[in-house]
Amino acid sequence: MKIFYARVSTEDQNEARQIEKAHELGAERIFLDKMSGKNTDRPALQEMLAFVREGDVIIAESFSRIARNTRDLLDIVETLRNKGVDLISDKEKLDTNTPQGRFMLQVFGAMAELERETILQRQREGIAIAKAEGKYHGRKRIGTDETLTEACKAWRAGEITAREAMTRAGLKPNTFYRRVKEKGL
């Protein structure tokens, strides 16, 4: 069976180009993740790895869609080889069933890892510069102190539940309880 794995890094990104490629290549089944490739904790990837059987071929637009670090990529390829499944990258035109393909896979995996590390380094450098210029102050706090205080008073008075207080304050449980503790509410 021809199986296509597609991945975009965020919910906002469009996977249409990869899906179109899957159809062009005659994929019979498509697995799609909309999340970072920084690790292998992705639902569609895990579902696909459990689904594939001996003789199947997995096609990805590029190896960077499968994994962003060499170790994860090599582990996935090893899992697939043990199952008798081939992995092909359309962009790099590599088949992991050949010795040359496996060698080049390591090269491309290392390049994908370098790309990710470079992006993270640039991001850290940009944040440091923005902080030095007074333009970056971290993530904006959610919920206002007034809203939290009012919600907390109602909660402490037994008028509402803690969950309702969190909803009114616009905070998730961990943030809510941390702010309540910080403010002594």
Q: How many CB atoms lie within 10 A of CB 183?
A: 11
Q: Which of 9, 36, 62, 89 is catalytic?
A: 9
Average pLDDT for the chain: 87
Q: Is 62 a catalytic residue?
A: no
Ranges in the chain annotated CATH 3.40.50.1390: 2-118
Instruction: Report how far residue 145's alpha carbon sits from residue 181's, in angstroms, rounded to the nearest whole number.
Output: 13
Render pLDDT for 134-185 as a digit per residue (tens, 0 to 9).
888 776 666 667 788 888 889 889 999 988 988 888 888 888 888 888 877 7
DSSP 8-state secondary structure symbol assigned to residue 9: S
Mean pLDDT along residues 14-26: 92
Render pLDDT for 123-141 as a digit per residue (tens, 0 to 9).
999 989 988 998 887 766 6
Q: What is the largest CA-CA distance in the chain?
A: 70
Main-chain phi, psi angles of 11, to 5 degrees: -60, -30
Please state the pTM of the whole predicted model. Answer: 0.58
User: Residue 32's closest CA among 54, 10, 53?
Assistant: 10
**Three-state secondary structure call for residue 105:** helix
Fold of the 2-118 domain: Rossmann fold (3.40.50)
Instruction: Report how far residue 139's alpha carbon sits from residue 46's, in angstroms, rounded to the nearest whole number.
Output: 32
CB 101 within 8 A of CB 74: no
